Amino acid sequence: MLSSKRITANAACAAGQATPLVRAPIRPLPLSNVQQQAQTLLVPRLSHAQAIGQRVRAAAVADGASAGAAAAVSSPVASSDAAGLQELDKDSFQPFIDAAGDKLVVVDFFTDWCGPCKLIYPQLVTLSAELAPAAVIVKFNCNQNNKELAKALGIKVAPTFHLYKGGQKVADMTGAKVDKLRELIIKHTASDDGQQN
């Protein structure tokens, strides 16, 4: 019985006696605020400075610039993003630590896919501004290019923070706990103030 009704309805539509059923387009459900934030954190984006750096490097190579100039543009000692934290790599890590001398250097070992790393990054930028010039916070991406050094330094969890002074590691901590990191930094900068007085 059901099939005969279908045939009749289809025949009526074909004859122009009835209007065919139109399926409404399926609209996706709106994302919650948390889902939107997570989605934006997972999509890697270049900062304005990084995009310009890529264009400059591409232009130097395309123009056939001298090997020395191309090398200077493509392999900086360290890079920094628009927000201000300087990023070290396997080649610039040890020279930066050595050049800092007795200044406290806090290294944020992170990965591109680490959600907590991305969530605390703005707080690290603020903390860096608060603690300057007594301490400097830099970041180190434990990506494929820097994996060997990260492994040699014992990085197993992201984020991990190492504190260096005088070229030596003086403390470390893991986890996205900015308040605990602040206390650790203040402890090691306060010990300098006590020694100087």
Q: Average pLDDT of each block of 10 consecutive residues along the chain (197 residues)? A: 53 57 63 58 48 50 43 42 80 95 95 94 94 93 94 95 95 95 92 53
What's the confidence (pLDDT) of residue 98?
94
Of 106, 110, 95, 175, the residue nearest 138 (C-alpha): 106
CA 163 to each of CA 25, 168, 175: distance values in angstroms, whole numbers, following the listed order: 56, 8, 14
- For residues 91-125, one letter each, b for 16 or more C-beta atoms within 10 angstroms of the residue's C-beta and e for the rest, the string is ebbeebbeebeeebbbbbbbbeebeebbebbeebb
Domain spans, the chain: 50-76, 81-196
Catalytic amino acids?
A: 114, 117
What's the confidence (pLDDT) of residue 193?
55
What's the confidence (pLDDT) of residue 173?
97
What's the confidence (pLDDT) of residue 190?
81
Cα(30)–Cα(18) distance, rounded to whole angstroms?
35
What's the confidence (pLDDT) of residue 24?
61
Task: For 135, list phi and psi in degrees, rounded to 5.
Answer: -145, 155
Give residues with Cβ within 8 angstroms of 125, minimum separation 6.
83, 84, 85
Question: Between 3.40.718.10, 3.40.30.10, 3.40.50.720, 3.40.50.2000, what CATH number should domain 81-196 receive?
Answer: 3.40.30.10
